[in-house]
Amino acid sequence: METTDYMILKPFKNLALSNFSDPKTESEMNEALEKVAAEFGKEYDIVIGGKRYKSEKKIKSINPSKIDEIVGITNSANEELAELAVQTALKTFEEWSRTPAWKRAEYLLKTAEILRKKRYEFVATMVYEVGKNWIEADADFAEAVDFLEFYAREMLRYASEQPLVRIPTEKNELRYIPLGVGAIIPPWNFPLAILVGMTSSAIVTGNTVVLKPASDSTVIAAKFFEALEEAGLPSGVVNFLPGSGALAGEYLVKHPKIRFISFTGSKEVGLRIHELAAKPQPGQIWIKRTILEMGGKDAVVVDETADLEAAAEGIVASAFGFQGQKCSAGSRAIIVKDVYDEVVEKILEKASKITIGNVKYKANWLGPVINRGAFEKIKGYIKIGKNEGTLIYGGNTKEELGGYFIEPTIFKDVPGNARIAQEEIFGPVLAIIKAEDFENALKIANSTEYGLTGSLYSKSRERIERAKEEFHVGNLYFNRKCTGALVGVHPFGGFNMSGTDSKAGGRDYLGLFLQAKAISEKIL
């Protein structure tokens, strides 16, 4: 094996977040916002095997903060181009799968370096395209870089000699080999981080992919694809195929040459993908693998021993960060009755300080929801909530601001089995539930069909230890918010209807894109 820089890679370290209170950093961000705005309306192509394609149908990416602004226009693929993308990926797989692991990892590291140099351009694009505030968009960017750096190192670990029980009569080894062609279907809510994580994990393991970005975030996806090209990634390893959800959910998922589907999104779509993938198609010779990260109805539990100020702060941050549009969002606050009223007052106090408006401006913390469909759906849930609990804050829309703005909305005295306490709303709506005691609170927390994240605020060691055993979620936090998982630190993925517990950003994750081959040779 030829010598390369990977042999002296430093241990993985999470990328530090930007400090926007620093005047220089704030100035860089404002310059990036101007630069990205100057590119509004630019058209982005479908790219298959290095060749660019246009189509009659286009996807318009709208700024949800100011809906008369078009951030970019992307060509939308049809089934003919989808077929070409699959066949191109299949052909490219022959060579890419035999590319040494260190070389594949090197492409990820080069891409990470390109992203770092264009940091605020990527951050600004997310501010405009999906309505993330500066801090949320910067954290999304940092996570994307972390995925590239972490998975590059992980691939080298998977490619190294694996520990086996040794016997004197044979030489044995275990190799991890790639699966084949994958369909990558990322969401719009972490439009860079999750897209980068899903794509990079699949290709660094030697697979080739058809990348179908979310229709609400095609511009940031196109910019990432450009970074891959700049890094020199061979054509056809990633095929950029913007298009309708139906194209991905039906055509790609059912295709007999697709070996795996990596999806992040709603429970309904995830289950449909799982169902379609389970049925073998004519010419299919494998069982398709699905890597699914779906919804959540996550709870922040507060008992009477907790630091109530910290609990209220964690509840507000978990519920309303990025307008509650996170599968990890703490959309339920379950508070024991002894401190219920006091915590509710503290939540109201903190919610009242939230600034709402166009997130192009640093001062605004709460931005718009993603699109008209989400806007109407959330309004519907607020109407339902008025019949299920007591509205104590918000509940109004702010369309006069120019976008899809909804106030942070808080209901108290919500029954644990209410719709707004059971169904994923994906918006800035918090249901506060009163529990008799810690035992009852834990029971309510586990009462949904989901099991993604959860948080407990308590000073009781006994209760913390009990929650470790009984609070049934994939990511459990104590005395901190239930959002903000870090790559390598908090491997992310949940139980039940929250997905396949795939643990993105963890040591097990790359194994989902590989298959193990045991090789034995008798010693003569």
Q: Where along the chain do the CATH 3.40.309.10 domains lie? A: 299-487
293 classed as catalytic: yes
Residue 124 phi, psi dihedral angles, 5° rounding: -60, -40
Provide the b/e sequence for 298-320 (b: ≥16 CB within 10 Å): bbbbbbbbbebeebbbbbbbbbb
**Taking a C-beta distance cutoff of 8 angstroms, is the pair 86, 252 a contact?**
yes
Q: How confident is the model at residue 249 (pLDDT cuts 50, 70, 90)?
A: confident
The string of pLDDT tens digits covering residues 283-293 is 999 999 999 99
Q: Indicate whether 275 pLDDT > 80.
A: yes
Residue 392 phi, psi dihedral angles, 5° rounding: -115, -5
**Taking a C-beta distance cutoff of 8 angstroms, is the pair 84, 48 a contact?**
yes
DSSP-assigned beta bridge partners for residue 451: 495
Residue by residue, DSSP assigns 115-183 as: HHHTHHHHHHHHHHHH---HHHHHHHHHHHHHHHHHHHHHHHHHHSPPP----TTEEEEEEEEE--EEE
Provide the b/e sequence for 161-186 (b: ≥16 CB within 10 Å): eeeeeeeeeeeeeeebebbbbbbbbb
Q: Which of 129, 149, 304, 327 is catalytic?
A: 327
The mean per-residue pLDDT over the stretch 26-36 comes to 98
**Taking a C-beta distance cutoff of 8 angstroms, is the pair 309, 346 a contact?**
yes
What's the confidence (pLDDT) of residue 7? 53
Count Cβ atoms below 10 Å from residue 453 Cβ, excluding itself.
29
Q: What angle do CA 490, 275, 210 make, to 5 degrees?
A: 65
For helices 308-320 and 340-351, the axis angle rounded to 10 degrees is 50
Distance CA 513, CA 164 (A): 21
Distance CA 478, CA 305 (A): 13
Q: Indicate whether 2 pLDDT > 50.
A: no
Q: Indicate whether 5 pLDDT > 60.
A: no
Q: Indicate whether 4 pLDDT > 70.
A: no
Tokens standing for 240? Answer: 């950029």
Residue with tokens 């264009």: 118
What's the confidence (pLDDT) of residue 263? 98
Contacts (Cβ under 8 Å, ≥6 apart) of 275: none
Distance CA 168, CA 524 (A): 11
Pairing of strands 181-185, 258-264: parallel
Q: Indicate whether 173 pLDDT > 70.
A: yes
Among candidate residues 514, 491, 488, the one with its CA nearest the CA of residue 503: 491
Q: Give the predicted TM-score (pTM) of the model.
A: 0.97
With a pLDDT cut of 70, the percent of the chain lying above it is 99
DSSP class of residue 323 equals: G
For the chain, counts of helices (H) and of strands (E): 16, 21
Query: Options 3.40.309.10, 3.30.360.10, 2.60.40.1930, 3.10.580.10; which CATH number does 299-487 get?
Result: 3.40.309.10
What does the mean pLDDT of the chain come to? 97
Q: Indicate whether 514 pLDDT > 80.
A: yes
By three-state DSSP, how is residue 319 classified? Answer: helix
268 classed as catalytic: no
The verdict on domain 16-294+502-519 having CATH code 3.40.50.970 is no
Count Cβ atoms below 10 Å from residue 348 Cβ, excluding itself.
15
What's the confidence (pLDDT) of residue 8? 76
The string of pLDDT tens digits covering residues 421-454 is 999 999 999 999 999 999 999 999 999 999 999 9
Residue by residue, DSSP assigns 192-225 as: THHHHHHHHHHHHTT-EEEE---GGGHHHHHHHH
Q: Which of 136, 149, 154, 293 is catalytic?
A: 293
The mean per-residue pLDDT over the stretch 189-195 comes to 98
Q: Where along the chain do the CATH 3.40.605.10 domains lie? A: 16-294+502-519
The mean per-residue pLDDT over the stretch 216-220 comes to 98
What's the confidence (pLDDT) of residue 1? 34
DSSP-assigned beta bridge partners for residue 475: 453
Among candidate residues 36, 227, 24, the one with its CA nearest the CA of residue 137: 36
Distance CA 269, CA 264 (A): 9
Q: Indicate whether 250 pLDDT > 90.
A: no
What's the confidence (pLDDT) of residue 6? 44
What's the confidence (pLDDT) of residue 89? 98
